[in-house]
Chains A and B, each alone.
Chain A
């Protein structure tokens, strides 16, 4: 433990309960919001929405392609559908429907992918999205949000309802480490700096934010001061924050519960390579499929721990010094 992680505890509420509460709160004033499910409303936690708004919840059954296309059509009539499924089925399975039925024709569909990466745990490789962000980044005009904990849902849901377009919310459904206090302020598209430092910048999203904070604590013990950014909005990535990190720290480590190709690490590298190249190390899944195990086991199995981030930081700093 250390300065940054002391006091951070496992949340007392599940992410899905917090998400649904935020959605219900927004839907009370925004009558356009419709919930669409594909037979996992119990799992993703949207049931309370159906209880409060029985006429505004549509459980399609196990037909994700229809659910996405139907959502797109509904949005043409002015409604704002929020489509929920496990991340793999919400994106990979229906990529062409998202691309052509939604984005290509400028329709207004919100996609919520549950169980990102290793949080799919015992559901294993078939249910473990390591490429959903990469796919969604390729959709022109898309917005991608991955909250670190439940505090951001109100901001995320309000943003998605109030702003037109195809948005992807990547969200764990279980309890997660609670980093932010209730009522914390977020701005979509603007990274949160959780710790400042000038030796290296750790840029993370989702469950990896806590790992990055732990890594920063570990590095502090070794005399290295790390900046930690919660890049909760992966697209559009906060270019200013990335460039400031490059200028101030000269070494950057990205950390994501996703394939190291196509996601946050790629987004950061794209910004830097065209403007201010500095050494970058990407912590993420390398050329692998998911598998079963506890989240703990899987984080170690795929190299998604604070230890991995700290080691990458030291390597990155060494590369900076060689320059």
Chain B
């Protein structure tokens, strides 16, 4: 990977996403920010995809099971050229192609519709199974939230994936340690994800979910080892100055001024980290 290029991609995605949410005036900023670096690595360094052929049956699939963070994925898809960046300004408007939660029927590049938490991993396991049955190429990357893992259906899916040895699926946990109502630890403890996944019979790795090199290494490793989960330790709101707060940041009202300041801050931090990366 070209670390600088991927960091630049992450910054561009973050800026597009903040701008997109500001155009709507509100939205799921916290969980969108926590996955920007993961999306940047996936779409820059990992996925076998072609924005000009978004329905290629041999492509890699992405299932954003935490569907409310669609805005981050839309920013990524626009960055990759699936559609014009101007379209991001239509988020949540009546008749838009970009609804708050991912919709495969509306948005080019969205593989699976999500929004009712806990269902994406099952859908992803079906895509993986369908690919194996038909000898198709491509992997399935399913992004779930740590709060979302409270939904029992996820663990049905993990058992299925382990039992069937679905080697073409990678589970990505956005472990931002917060859910809508507060800290996951306070609402319903999730204990040790790595040991949980391992006890269910699949490989598990941990990564710093804001370090593009670590993300890339662990995703590459997970893809090689077969059914695997990568627990990405992240921060809800990361990289967006006004959302990096200990209080409620799941969903925020966002003014143009807030967005402009945060976008400038993303650029400043990128410059700083470039220095460190050299």
Contact = CB atoms under 8 A, between A and B. Distances in A.
B153 interface: yes
Contact of B156 (A66, A72, A77): A66
Interface string A92-117: 00001100110011100000000000
Nearest to B160: A66
Interface in B164-212: none
A61 B126 contact: no
Contact of A70 (B118, B152, B157): B157
B122 A105 contact: no
Interface in A21-39: 34
Q: Which of A34, A55, A60, A78 has the most CB of B within 10 A?
A: A60
B148 to A, nearest CB: 14
Contacts of A77: 57, 126-127, 130-131, 133-134, 136
A100 B160 contact: no
A77 B159 CA distance: 22
B103 interface: yes
Contact of B113 (A81, A97, A104): A104
Contacts, number: 102
Contact of B123 (A70, A81, A106): A70
A73 B153 CA distance: 15
Contacts of A17: none
A73 B159 contact: no
A70 B122 CA distance: 5
Contact of A105 (B112, B152, B156, B163): B112
A82 B216 CA distance: 38
Contacts of B152: 65
Main secondary structure of the interface of B (DSSP, over half): helix
B126 A71 contact: yes
A28 to B, nearest CB: 17
Contact of A100 (B113, B133, B134, B159): B113
Interface in A54-88: 55-56, 58, 60-61, 63, 65-66, 68-79, 81
A101 B122 contact: yes
A72 B136 CA distance: 17
B201 to A, nearest CB: 13
B63 to A, nearest CB: 8
Contact of A69 (B105, B123, B131): B123
Interface string B137-159: 00000000000000011001101
B58 to A, nearest CB: 10
Contact of B122 (A34, A66, A81, A104): A66
A211 to B, nearest CB: 39
Interface size of B as a range: 20 to 34
A105 B129 contact: no
B130 to A, nearest CB: 3
Contacts of B126: 69-77, 81
A69 B133 CA distance: 17
Given A65-B156, A100-B113, A105-B113, A58 B122 contact: no
A71 B125 CA distance: 9
Interface of A: 34, 55-56, 58, 60-61, 63, 65-66, 68-79, 81, 96-97, 100-101, 104-106
Interface of B: 57, 103-105, 111-113, 115-116, 118-119, 121-131, 133-134, 136, 152-153, 156-157, 159-160, 163
Given A66-B156, A66-B159, A69-B125, 17 more contacts: A34-B133, A58-B129, A60-B160, A63-B159, A65-B118, A65-B153, A66-B157, A69-B119, A69-B157, A71-B126, A74-B126, A74-B133, A76-B111, A77-B127, A77-B131, A77-B134, A100-B116
19 contacts: A60-B160, A61-B160, A63-B160, A66-B159, A68-B122, A69-B122, A70-B122, A70-B123, A70-B129, A73-B125, A73-B130, A74-B133, A75-B126, A76-B123, A77-B126, A77-B133, A81-B126, A97-B122, A101-B123
